[in-house]
Amino acid sequence: MQKIDGKITAAKIKEEIAAKIQEMVAAGGRRPNLVGLLVGHDGGSESYMMMKTRACEQCGIRSSLIRMEPDVTQEELISKINELNRDNDVDGFIVQLPLPKHIDEQAVVEAIDYRKDVDGFHPINVGRLAIGLPCFKPATPSGVLMLLEHYCIETRGKHCVILGRSNIVGKPLANMLVQKAYPGNCTVTVCHSATPNINEMTRQADILIAAMGSPGFVTEDMVKEGAVVIDVGTTRVPDATRERGWRLCGDVDFATVSPHCSFITPVPGGVGPMTIVSLLHNTLLAATGEVYKK
């Protein structure tokens, strides 16, 4: 069994991104510029944004944060988005979700110029992903594929079973892994809350990706000997032994499942660290115009 180390992989890819940016700048190019839009004062959102900003700094990406009060109107928010859409010095920007309830999130996502949508949530990016065209890929699925690639895991013709059908993880992962590409070319099965015989499906998986947000759901008896197991779950569960009172818990019962795997990601330290790397990667691609011509 080999443990897939997301921290080390993320650090390596960040170094690669940093090197490319240094090269661009040395050649007289602009430094990529990412803007974050944060509405309100939610602690979780604040700390995500801080992590993203710090990661940008590490790679030599300029980044800045625009804060808006929680009572901002949808019109004001979209007007700010239009400003960023027009600003030639901004390569990409992200609107931290969730948004206050009086704002229509989908309308906000669709207001973003898809050529600057480094979160990959705009329908044009979702659609191009589905038909296998260049696009900004969503962060978490993209992080999963980077891990498979980094560990040279064979995917062609493998049966990949995905647990969960969220719009930001399960569905895009299915759309990515079915493509004629590497990583990809998998036979893909998507299971979810309406799947009656989930154990029967998971036991067939050469590659099992758990993205349900159900701590410890995947147990030993559900996994085939030698399977690759990717755990996307990150649920905070109470833990009195920790100072902060909680710990992150994946969808896979690591202790019992891991001895049966060829590769497995831990939680924390598996997929988690990769998501920000995907965002940095998209920002670089936005700056170079590799996905959409400038």
Pull the structure tokens for residue 82. 């239009």
Q: Which residues have C-beta within 8 Å of that of residue 196, sequence separation ≥ 6?
A: none
Chain centre distance of CA 255: 25
For the chain, the maximum distance between any two Cα atoms, rounded to a whole number of angstroms, is 58
Expressed in percent and rounded to 5, the helix, strand and coil fractions of the chain are 40, 20, 40
Instruction: Give the nearer residue to its own copies in terms of CB position, either 182 or 248.
Output: 182
Which CB atom, from 172 or from 272, has the smaller least distance to its own copies?
172
* Nearest distance, CB of residue 195 and its own copies, angstroms: 4
- With CB under 8 A as the contact rule, the residue among 45, 85, 185, 288 that binds its own copies is 185
SS3 164: coil
Positions 49 through 68 that interact with its own copies (CB under 8 A): none
249's enclosing H/E stretch is: strand 246-249
CB atoms within 10 A of CB 231: 27
Q: Which is nearer to its own copies, 126 or 208 (CB)?
A: 126
Find the part of the chain contacting its own copies (CB under 8 A) among 94-102, 196-204, 239-247, 262-270: 196-204
CB of 176 to its own copies, least distance (A): 11
Q: Does 240 bind its own copies (CB under 8 A)?
A: no
CB-CB contact of 210 with 164 (8 Å): yes
Q: Within 87-146, which residues bind its own copies (CB under 8 A)?
A: 106, 122-133
Q: Does 192 bind its own copies (CB under 8 A)?
A: yes
Of 27, 194, 240, 255, the one binding its own copies by CB under 8 A: 194
Cα separations in angstroms, 46 against 41, 52, 235, 278, 291: 7, 10, 18, 19, 29
The only residue of 4, 201, 223, 284 in contact with its own copies, by rule CB under 8 A = 201
Which of 19/133 has CB closer to its own copies? 133
Separation CA 155–CA 181 (nearest Å): 9
Q: Which of 180, 242, 244, 293 binds its own copies (CB under 8 A)?
A: 180
How many amino acids of this chain bind its own copies (CB under 8 A)? 38
**Alpha helices (H) along 62-104:** 74-86
DSSP string, 206-218: SEEEE-S--TT-B
Residues known to be catalytic: 52, 96, 119
The nearer residue to its own copies, 121 or 254, going by C-beta atoms, is: 121
Decide: is 178 part of the binding site for its own copies (CB under 8 A): yes
How many Å from the N-terminal Cα to the C-terminal Cα in the chain?
Answer: 45
Nearest to 109 by CA among 85, 144, 145: 85
Closer CB to its own copies, residue 38 or residue 191? 191
Of 28-36, 59-67, 146-154, 164-172, the window that binds its own copies (rule: CB under 8 A) is 164-172
In the complex, which residues of this chain contact its own copies (CB under 8 A)? 106, 122-133, 156-157, 159, 165, 167, 171-172, 174-175, 178-180, 185-192, 194-197, 201
